[in-house]
Chain A
Amino acid sequence: MTVTTPHTAYWEGVRDGLPFILVVAPFALLFGVVATEAGLNVWETLAFSVVVIAGAAQFTALQLMQENAPTVIVLASALAVNLRMAMYSASLTPHLGATPVWQRAIAAYMMLDQSYACSILAYERNRDWTAAQKMAFYFGAVTPVVPVWYAMTVAGALIGSSMPTGLALDFAVPITFIAMIAPALRTLAHKAAATASVVLALGFAFVPFNLGLIIAGIGGMMVGAQVELWMDRRART
């Protein structure tokens, strides 16, 4: 029995999404602690995480608000950090575009780096999946992560500044992203895209509002596409 139903795709998504609790939990906890130190109460901290549901953008906004930056600058910077979500949205569209619009709206609300990355990898492995199966997998992948995001934000806000330092939790985020992306470096085009992205991100790190990342993203995609075309031409001759 190898037929994949939306039901089994959902549970496959849950299984693939489980490891990301390890990343999201410390990240959310840290946000709760930092928000409390900035003077937010538990409800304000939870509302921030529920309404915005984007860790990096939340840290950016909080940091700038503490520096008394104008509200327009706070919003522009935090949204620039989130610009990559528009790229993820475009990348998911060929897979999920045929599902009902309410499902796409919920999927958009719950779009996280982790859920995007593990879904797109699953779609590459299972090219025969229908849009409904792909959406079921996506919802499965966010199921373990989103409640943990909310709950650990509250935990962080309650613990506040009594959190022990020296655990090097700052590095939970880089390690999990690298662990996710390393198995995805399948072809020469994928490796070239990733290498270009690293070089461009480091080279353009000085650009304000995190726009260096957008340059790296677009540059990496162009390199990947060009290498793919080159490999296709070479395979045909």
Chain B
Amino acid sequence: MTDPIVAKGTLWTVIILLGLGSFALRFAFLGLIGNRPMPDWIMRHLRYTAVAVLPGLVAPLAVWPGATDGVPDLPRLAAALTTLIIGYLTKNVLAAIFSGAGMLYLLLYLLG
């Protein structure tokens, strides 16, 4: 059995150190490099940061959802693909979100 109650001393240590550490990660380049020019090869890699990190963040969540204890789930996979296709075709973020959510609820309702 795990104790659901978190010790107060540990809690505040974690809140403060995690806050400082997260700020350090976010400020690292923006604050310290500032306006100094960066070499071409670094700039060429940085152009792809968003499309290289966010898909990797989402893929495991879509394939092995936490809500189903990591078992692949048809409604969630279909919702993810619908969002991707509508977002790519329309270039409209809100249209993509609502189509994906619509597909998710439709399939959850039909299969539930």
B83: chain A residues at CB < 8 Å are 175, 178-179, 182
Q: How many residues of A contact B (CB 8 A)?
A: 97
Q: Give the interface SS of chain B, mostly helix, strand, loop or mixed.
A: helix
Which residue on chain B has the smallest CB distance to residue A124? Answer: B47
How many residue pairs link A and B with beta carbons under 8 A? The number is 293
Q: Report if A132 contacts B (CB, 8 A).
A: no
CB distance from B52 to the nearest CB of A (A): 3
The total of chain B residues at the interface (CB under 8 A) is 78
Main secondary structure of the interface of A (DSSP, over half): helix
Rounded to whole Å, the gap between the CB of A13 and the closest CB of chain B is 14
CA distance A53 to B19 in the complex (A): 8
- Residue interface mask B24-53, A partner, CB < 8 A = 1: 011111110111101001111111111111
Q: Is A10 an interface residue (CB 8 A)?
A: no
In the complex the two chains form, what is the Cα distance from A54 to B14 in whole Å? 13
**Contact assessment for A182 and B88 in the assembled complex, using a CB-CB cutoff below 8 Å:** yes
**A 177-193 binary contact with B (CB < 8 Å = 1; else 0):** 11111111100011001
**CB within 8 Å of A: which B59-105 residues:** 59-67, 75-76, 79-80, 83-88, 90-94, 96-97, 100-101, 104-105
Within 8 Å by CB of A97, from B26, B30, B41, lies B30
Across the interface, do B58 and A92 meet the contact criterion of CB distance under 8 Å?
A: no
| Chain A residues, Cβ within 8 Å of B100 | 175, 178-179
Q: Which of B47, B48, B58 contacts A174 (CB 8 A)?
A: B58
Q: A225 and B41: CB pair below 8 A?
A: yes
- Whether B17 sits at the interface, judged by CB under 8 Å, is yes
Question: A197's contact among B14, B55, B84, by CB below 8 Å, is which?
Answer: B55
Residues of B within 8 A of A196 (CB): 52
| Given A101-B34, A117-B50, CB of A202 within 8 Å of CB of B97 | no
Tell me which residues from 7 to 31 in chain B have a Cβ below 8 Å from any Cβ of chain A. Answer: 10-11, 13-19, 21-23, 25-31
A85-B22 contact given A38-B6, A71-B10, A93-B29, CB 8 Å threshold: yes
- The chain B residues found within 8 Å of chain A, CB to CB, are 2-6, 10-11, 13-19, 21-23, 25-31, 33-36, 38, 41-67, 75-76, 79-80, 83-88, 90-94, 96-97, 100-101, 104-105, 108
A-B CB contact pairs (8 Å), 16 listed: A61-B18, A82-B21, A94-B38, A97-B30, A98-B34, A104-B27, A108-B31, A113-B57, A116-B50, A170-B67, A190-B48, A193-B52, A194-B55, A197-B52, A201-B60, A224-B48
Report A's interface with B, CB cutoff 8 A: 19, 22, 37-40, 44, 47-48, 51-54, 57-58, 61-62, 65-68, 71, 74-75, 78-79, 82-94, 96-98, 101, 104-105, 107-109, 111, 113, 116-117, 120-121, 168, 170-185, 189-190, 193-198, 200-202, 205, 212-213, 216-225, 228-229
